[in-house]
Structures are given as C-alpha cells and as structure tokens.
Amino acid sequence: MGLSRLPSLLIVANDDEVEVQEGIDMAARARGRIRTQAETKAKLGSAAPSMKADALHPMIWGAASGRWESGHYSDAVQRAATALSGLVKDQTGRYELGDSQLILQAFSLDPPQQDRPRLRWPGNDDDLTVKSMREGILYMARGVFAAVRNPASHSTDDLPRQEALEQLATLSILARWIDRCDLVTI
C-alpha cells in the first residue's frame, strides 16, 4: 500500500485490504449519541426559557389564577386587566375615570394638576432613560388597555392558552413598573 505506518483506526487484513472497523464503530457510537441527544430533547423539551404563571406580578396572577386553572383564559386576562386598572385607581384616587382617561391622566407627561396626580417613573426629569421609561409606560399602558383589556372584556371568543399567558406577562411587567412609580401631586 505504500504506507509504512497506518493510522490506528485502520487495520490491515492482508497486503491488499485495509479494514476501517474501528472508524465504523466510532461512527456508530457518534450516531447513537446524536440519536440519544435528540431523544433526550424530545422527552425533556426545549432548552428555551419558560415562564411560570405563578411568578407573574402577584396581583396579576392572583386576579387571573382561578379562571386560568379552570381553562377560561380570556376571562383570566380580563380579571387581571381589571385588577391593574384598580391598582392605578387606588394609587391615584381617580375612581371616577374610565380606563382610557385614567391611563392618559395618570401617566401624562404634563405636570400634575389639582386633583390630577401623576404616576411617574422615579428619577431626574432630565435623565434620558427616565424620560424614556415615562413615555414608554404611558404608551404601553394605553396599548395594553386598548389591545388586551378591551378585547378580553368585550369579546366572547376565548384566547388560546399561550396568547393569554403572553397577555398576562404584559400586564405583569406593566404592574411591576407601576409599583415602582412615584405618585406626584401638587
């Protein structure tokens, strides 16, 4: 064959034949390992992060959990959104307002007025991140009440489980941000 020394995975059967049995065995073990990894992933699920509903903001999950556990996902979202509205009303004392006006006034970027307090992300008014959070909370709250709370309250269609969980997560992060806001009055 012209080789004075053969690689260890090649075995000389005779002067004209070389076996690669060890290489074949190694390939079979690798194939088995790949199959095992695929089977493991199939049985254990994805390595992607997952979210536990009971780790959501306690008020959000507390309002939603009873209906969620009975499979009424839209109703769970609606109850959580109503609880979020109640949180803003409790913090601002603005019980007379509907949700749309409540959100517009509570998170308005304008200075507070008599009997119109504001919920503000804490920090220096000149800080760009603080300004960004204040605007973001205003716009997100408006969007959440328009696109999550209203359909959940007025539609008779039930949400798919995953979509309802995502909506609860949206309500949850908004509730966490509201918890961190300061009440600003004159």
Across the range 78-103, mean pLDDT stands at 95
d(CA 80, CA 67) in angstroms, rounded, equals: 10
Higher pLDDT among residues 2 and 183, named by residue: 183
* 3-state secondary structure (DSSP) of residue 75: helix
Across the range 162-170, mean pLDDT stands at 95
pLDDT score of 114? 93
pLDDT exceeds cutoff 60 at 3: no
Report the relative pairing of strands 118-120 and 11-14 from DSSP bridges.
unpaired
Domain segments of the chain as ranges: 11-44, 53-184
d(CA 125, CA 135) in angstroms, rounded, equals: 12
Across the range 9-15, mean pLDDT stands at 63
pLDDT score of 6? 54
pLDDT score of 157? 82
* 3-state secondary structure (DSSP) of residue 69: helix
pLDDT score of 154? 79
